[in-house]
Structure 1
Amino acid sequence: MASRAKVRGGEKQQQSLSLGRETVEELEKEAERRGLNKSQLADLLLNGQLTQSADKPTIISIMSYKGGVAKTTTSTCLAVCLSELGYKVLVIDMDGQGNVSQSLGVYDPRSEEACIADVLYQATPSSPRMSLSEVMRTTDYENVFCVPSNFRFADADTRLKAEIAGGVDTRLLYAIEDLIDETARSGERKFDYIIIDCGPRLDMTTTNAIVALEAGNNASHIIIPIKVDGYAIAGLSQTIDTINRTARERRRLPQHWKILQTMIERNTSAYKYGCQMMKEAIPNAEYFNTKIEKSTVVPEASLAMEPLIKYDPNSKPAISYRLLAQEIEEMNA
């Protein structure tokens, strides 16, 4: 099914609005969280940029310019942990290496089956783009579904930039909106969470993952995993710049992002010094309370091609990921 074309726009109109006390208090909290004054937030609300909807999923894009910071581990663990809490979860693999797809058991390196590439651009000039539901696969984990990736997605950035048709940065956004509409029409249970795992690069695929958050509810956000060292801090700045640049180009409010510290060695001087460096480099950064400690069980789970949360559910990192899932659940409260 080809993605539908959409046109949005319209002139800004002066509007007046009478708000109750509870609504004003909620606006104040939201303005503080986003670093805005109330009038700025109200303007965005009136223009449809902060529309609340219980029918929308929470979309989480997991991205970092730096590799080796546990993006795949975070994506798979969160998916399984949220499903254990009773939620229906879709994982979209946006990395040509297909690590998330391998971990969830839906990747065959010898296969040329449909994947996320077929959703975002035409595989051949004569083949139309496919819908997420056509590419989506079930996994061995209850209520966890996956849109896989494979080697065919490796040149996605080049393929997207080469397409003549405009709006290539909204391909994933519209595909998710189509999936939401399709699920509603069919009467199936909606997805509560959609997790987008990005590759270690900042390109058109990453831009799609940022823009796609517009299809979600107000708890939708970007998770930036970071191993606290000098190289990762430099990559963090580039990731944040990409988020802000995407917002400027679309004339929208930057998407909400939070930092997740991974592979930490809590009592080392290097970790403490790195934390201080990060505070100085990104003084207004927001962090998850949960931190993922370094453990040999993480590479072991990777070698076994299983989600860490299933490979060793009683390990310290697995327990931390359950706490992270609860922290994310609370963001929807």
Structure 2
Amino acid sequence: MIFRQLYDATSSTYTYLLADEHSREALLIDPVFEQQQRDLALLDELGLTLKLVVDTHAHADHITAAWLLKQKTGCTIASAAVINAEHVDLPLQHGQHFGVQGIDLQARATPGHTDGCMSYVLADQSMVFTGDTLLIRGCGRSDFQQGNASTLYRSITEQLFSLPDSCAVYPAHDYHGRTRSSIGEEKQYNARVGGGANETDFVGYMQAMQLPHPKKIDEAVPANLRSGCPEDGQLPPQANWADLRITFAGVPEVEPEWLIHNQPSVTLLDVRQPEEVIDGECPSALQPLHIPLDQLRQRIADVPADKPIIALCRSGRRSAMAVSILQEQGLERVASLRGGLLRLNQ
């Protein structure tokens, strides 16, 4: 199985990518709206097809990317049936098995943080994705959005602590940089529900907590009840000056074919050293401007700003750095030529 744990620093949210190595089918758990380009880039670079997006609950701290990813890829959306969210193709019931080819998950209803919380257990019970129900050494709060501490206690102890001690715990959030735990660890060391705590212990702890209201709850919850679809039902605006591809590293790129068909509407910036440049290696129509990468910051005034800029080098690596430098200087319509001259001259 291909597995990746991704992180959104703004909301401290983990998104999980699971994919089958043979079918190349993938699913995402708890994707974040603002991170959809990152997630799509990773899928593309790994050669995966997104078939399913699933949320663990209706989040109060971020907006899901489920609807947006469906528009981009045609994937299916799943979440707990009790949430009754719009645009959901697969409303999940407790005990239901679901997934993609080669990846089998079981949905377990684990309410208490919200009524619609679900945890997803890999078929061999080696991994569980617990949403906000069980966190590393903690758990989700129970003081809003249908929260109930007694219900949460039973969800954790009956549905999650019944899994093997070796089962790896992957939560929806962590605010201290911790990435995973295990059922055995949490049963013993969880600060709220571990170490033999009973329901009275747990409820007393939870009721004594005084936490600030989630900052995005008024925006996030209604949006998540629409599976992340904006109120106007429109896709967010995207750069329209080029057919851009954003890499997993965050670099905007264009394909050589796009560049060839869109000259002379762009400035082609060659950032190689002078001794690397060979007459005739670029199509004559491209006519690049040559500024070595190590001189670019000092010669930024020599770069025309009236047209989009496509940076070029041998392999596309130095040109990616050139894009970063250009962006630092406030230039927005910039991209690297994907694969550089190696790809252009294939």
Greater helix proportion: 1
Give the TM-score normalised by the residue count of structure 1: 0.28
Give the TM-score normalised by the residue count of structure 2: 0.27
Higher relative contact order, chain-length normalized (CA < 8 Å, sep 6+): 1
